[in-house]
Chain A
């Protein structure tokens, strides 16, 4: 008996509604974030990740209220990401009831933010989100870069090197999303995720591409992830979190039932 692998449903929230699109376009409405989070909690989710994808920062206030509402009803860890740019944003979200914040683009522009935040609030609440896309050509060894703007802008930063650097800077956990796989329902990007889990000694959450329960199990068994994140398979009731856990347990993975 030991530490369980975690299943983390992800809420992508736009203007106060849960949405999920294929590669961030074709957005489908999946409900009220507070209700959806409460349902996942009842189904036995190990954590909830809330990603604010609202384009305009005017609506940040909505997000804060939503985080407060979720934190008053759902007593499992809550990670909030999207629009976290400075230390004050982190404080706002932690005060609203988030347990961790996910820093993405801001870490690329200002890696010191991660160091500063980890020193001040502790590594346990600092998640660095890495959106990576394959840049190596056919026949070359695999190589992935960090992309921003929903996968449109190549930063030229190597994803595995970046992961190591962020761990050094004090990130407590890495959320690794494959931009090639996200929304495709064809499974996690195993080589990318494994390259990162092999390179760092902090927990890694695999994200992007889950279409069935075997994909979740593969994230742990083949890529060595400590947690697996999925959105649409849970939102549209294709599977419950409980079914996912039962399946993973059958595959010999330790889960919290």
Chain B
């Protein structure tokens, strides 16, 4: 079995790679080769930084169609920006069209929240740190992870899918926003499982054992 971590020079792939190697004996490769990606058994699609740069890099490497294809055929894990660009459009940087696997948009926190939450705590952007995920779907990737477990987040934008049924987890940061989505062979999470200690490693382990059925 081979797990391909898609490299489009956006973000710290080494962390994802090291964490996967920690939880599986399967071969884990970091690659931007369409053939390697199409031949792999599982796909991890990470990402960090700005949506526009991500899309530019994916286009430059002719990976948009490849990502679209494997996201419909193999167990597929999107992480952080790798979740956001699955949507149709992001408002980031004046607006950028994304991969469009799911109908919906990527929104900026500042357009939806105030300076503090209901309890009076300041909401600083980016949200940086450990927040809870309420599991809104039963899913094999949540196996052995407690509901409301804390994961490590760093982000200023969040996904807003049209189809609320694909939301798999929800987090509160001034508003309740979708922090995980899942449909068929795809699971995507806004937090960084590779940096979320034992619960994060458990999620990655669950992914390496997942048959891609929801």
The residues of A with any CB-CB pair to B shorter than 8 Å are 1-6, 41, 44, 46, 71-72, 75-77, 94-97, 99, 121-125, 172-173, 201-203, 224, 226-227, 256
Among candidates B121, B172, B197, residue contacting A76 with C-beta atoms closer than 8 Å: B197
Q: Is the CB of A2 within 8 A of B150?
A: no
Q: Is the CB of A124 within 8 A of B130?
A: no
Point out the residues of chain B lying under 8 angstroms from A95, CB to CB.
14
Q: CA–CA, A1 to B133, complex, Å?
A: 10
Min CB distance B66 to A, Å, is: 24
Q: CA–CA, A72 to B119, complex, Å?
A: 38
Point out the residues of chain B lying under 8 angstroms from A97, CB to CB.
12, 14-15, 18
Main secondary structure on B side of the interface with A: mixed
Q: With an 8 A cutoff between CB atoms, is B7 at the interface?
A: no
Q: CA–CA, A182 to B61, complex, Å?
A: 49
Among candidates A2, A72, A96, A172, residue contacting B126 with C-beta atoms closer than 8 Å: A172
Q: With an 8 A cutoff between CB atoms, is B2 at the interface?
A: no
Q: CA–CA, A227 to B153, complex, Å?
A: 14
Q: How large is the interface on B (under 10, 10 to 19, 20 to 34, 35 or more residues)?
A: 35 or more
Point out the residues of chain A lying under 8 angstroms from B195, CB to CB.
75-77, 99
The residues of B with any CB-CB pair to A shorter than 8 Å are 11-12, 14-15, 18-19, 22, 48-50, 117, 119, 121-122, 124-132, 148, 150, 152-155, 172-173, 194-197, 200-201
In the complex formed, the residue of B with least CB distance to A44 is: B197
Main secondary structure on A side of the interface with B: loop
Given the known interface contacts A2-B119, A99-B195, the answer about A71 and B148 at a Cβ–Cβ threshold of 8 Å is no
Q: CA–CA, A77 to B153, complex, Å?
A: 10
Given the known interface contacts A3-B127, A122-B50, the answer about A75 and B122 at a Cβ–Cβ threshold of 8 Å is no
Nearest first, the 6 A-B pairs at minimum CB distance are A124-B154, A256-B130, A122-B49, A4-B130, A256-B150, A3-B131
Min CB distance B112 to A, Å, is: 15
Point out the residues of chain B lying under 8 angstroms from A173, CB to CB.
128
Min CB distance A205 to B, Å, is: 10
Q: Is the CB of A122 within 8 A of B48?
A: yes
Q: CA–CA, A29 to B44, complex, Å?
A: 41
Point out the residues of chain A lying under 8 angstroms from B128, CB to CB.
124, 172-173, 203, 226
Q: Is the CB of A75 within 8 A of B201?
A: yes
Q: CA–CA, A6 to B172, complex, Å?
A: 17
Q: Is the CB of B14 within 8 A of A227?
A: no
